[in-house]
Amino acid sequence: MTAISFAILKKSPGMPMRAGKLVTLHGVVETPAFVPVGTQATVKSLTPEDLEKIGVQILFGNTYHLHLRPGEETVEKLGGLGKFMGYTGATMTDSGGFQVFSLARENKRTTLRHSGDERSEDARIKEGSWSSQDDNFGNLVRITEDGVEFKSHLDGSTHFFTPEKSIAIQKKLGADICLSFDDCAPFPVTHEGAKAAMERTHRWAERSLRSHKGLTTENQKQALYGIVQGSVFEDLRKESAAYIGNMDFDGFAIGGVSVGESKEDMVKAVEWAVPLLPEDRVKHLLGVGDVDDIFYAVERGIDTMDCVTPSRLGRVGHVFVGPGEGTMENRFRMDITKATFATDSGPLTHGCDCYACTHFTRGYINHLFRAKEMLGGHLATYHNVYFMVHLVKQIREAILEDRFNDLKEHWLG
């Protein structure tokens, strides 16, 4: 068999939304599916046993982080990403591109803050005069046609990623699905800057695909997704989707929607791109999202989406809750560390069947956070990942049973 195959089981009449089945060499992924992120070969605080109990069928690793530590040679030597981390399900890795750009921007901001010059960058970004090509991130990242030179956030050492290097690293990491190397423009960005980044993304997609095919053997089969860019510009998103969609990728990802745009921009990017991508192949949305984002993306034809929020929020005690239990600021989140929960005997959220909700009170989890106990972050993360995975499972069932709109109404009102 090929590395992956994708079958659509149910289509919603007149809509791009569908339920499907992504078959990998490490099991079936029932789509739509939420893909938890295990940046450093671990979904923070969760064991693979936890992931299996939660019902996770696929997870996401970050090539940038794994390349720097422990290095792809170590991961390869210990069996590849899945085996390395003791996870038997399907895995996917990103190209490292997004991380290089976004971590570099974070470093830049730190550098500038120290030099007292932060406002000028923000001001330039706000007026749209900044793009990934006219600013090389204060020399922390140097972009050329060949690739990107960057400094490690761990030790400042210099590294150079090219499409070929990214694919070679991903081959060693050995996930079921790899992503082509892209130039992810920052946001806001001018049309000119977004167009240049998109065109480079297309040239890098050609090189990624060529490199991928050259390295694929009988014993090493992986799928490769192409990435659609184009920022918030309709013409560019459509041009990119048509271009990338016309290439021989096993699936597609929509990138650049989580770097600062509004929810509306994300929705539009999906809406513009999906119809121009081959219907029969799987579509992934990178770095999304919130409860409402997931409904909006799925109804526009997205099959899988990854996001770090369940673990990132869980670690600090922000837990997902169902309709009517959230706060004014975010109706699907609650800060369990607040004193008001100290003697609350209810579960994190009502009706949740996860281990944390069925075994512990809000009061106990509140205590764990206030006492700085690791178990607090673990239980909140467990709940959050379960919550997202099961939300998308519910959406899938609703699509299969033609009641997506009812479910959406229940959640979003």
Q: Does 367 bind a copy of itself (CB under 8 A)?
A: yes
Closer residue to a copy of itself (CB): 1 or 371: 371
**Can you tell me which of 248, 353, 371, 413 binds a copy of itself, judged by CB under 8 A?**
371
Catalytic, out of 50, 290, 293, 306: 306
Q: Catalytic site residue 306?
A: yes
Is 402 a binder of a copy of itself (CB under 8 A)? no
Question: Rg of the chain's alpha carbons, rounded to an integer?
Answer: 21
- x-marked contacts with a copy of itself along 169-208 as a string, rule CB under 8 A: ----------------------------------------
Q: For 18, phi and psi rounded to 5 degrees?
A: -155, 165
The type of residue at 185 is: A
- Does 370 bind a copy of itself (CB under 8 A)? Our answer is yes
The reply to whether 374 sits near a copy of itself by the rule CB under 8 A is yes
Active site residue 250: no
Is 275 a binding residue for a copy of itself by CB under 8 A? The answer is: no
CA dihedral 165, 187, 296, 3 (to 10 degrees): 0
Name the one range near a copy of itself by CB under 8 A: 8-16, 166-174, 289-297, 358-366.
358-366
DSSP secondary structure letter of residue 139: G
Cα separation, 276 vs 380, in Å, equals 39
Question: Applying CB under 8 A, which of residues 360, 386, 404, 411 lies at the interface with a copy of itself?
Answer: 360
How far is the CA of 72 from the CAs of 75, 94, 150, 216, in angstroms? Answer: 5, 13, 18, 17
Name the segment binding a copy of itself (CB under 8 A); options: 46-54, 96-104, 384-392, 395-403: 46-54
**Which residue lies nearer to a copy of itself by CB, 243 or 369?**
369
Site track for a copy of itself across 65-104, x = CB under 8 A: x---xx---x--xx-----xxx------------------
Our CB check for a copy of itself shows the closer of 141 and 365 to be 365
| Candidate residues 33, 34, 36, 42; the one interacting with a copy of itself per rule CB under 8 A | 42
CB of 314 to a copy of itself, least distance (A): 11
Nearer to a copy of itself, 48 or 97 (CB): 48
In angstroms, what CA-CA distances link 274 with 183, 206, 244, 284? 20, 20, 11, 10
Pairing of strands 304-307, 33-36: parallel
**Contact indicator for 205, 227 with CB cutoff of 8 Å:** yes
Buried b (16+ CB within 10 A) or exposed e, 226-240: bbbbbbbbeebbbbb
Least distance in Å: CB of 210 to a copy of itself?
A: 31
What is the β-pairing status of strands 18-24 and 27-31? antiparallel
Q: Does 340 bind a copy of itself (CB under 8 A)?
A: no
Confirm or reject binding of residue 12 to a copy of itself (CB under 8 A): no
Using CB under 8 A, pick the residue from 41, 244, 297, 398 that binds a copy of itself. 41
Strands (E), 123-243: 141-143, 148-151, 158-161, 177-179, 223-228
The Cα diameter of the chain in Å comes to 61
Please identify, among the stretches 229-237, 292-300, 324-332, 339-347, the one whose residues bind a copy of itself according to the rule CB under 8 A: 339-347
Sheet order of strands, 141-143 included: 141-143, 148-151, 158-161
Residues 6 or more apart whose Cβ sits within 8 Å of residue 210: none
Smallest distance, a copy of itself to C-beta of residue 246, A: 39
- 10 part of the interface to a copy of itself, by CB under 8 A: no
Amino acid at 251: G
Burial bucket for residue 358 (CB in 10 Å: 0-12, 13-18, 19+): exposed
Strands of 264-303 (E only): list them: 282-285
**Of 20 and 377, CB closest to a copy of itself:** 377
* Catalytic sites, residue numbers: 94, 306
Q: What residue ranges bind a copy of itself (CB under 8 A)?
A: 40-42, 44-49, 65, 69-70, 74, 77-78, 84-86, 342-343, 345, 355, 359-361, 363-364, 366-368, 370-371, 373-375, 377-379
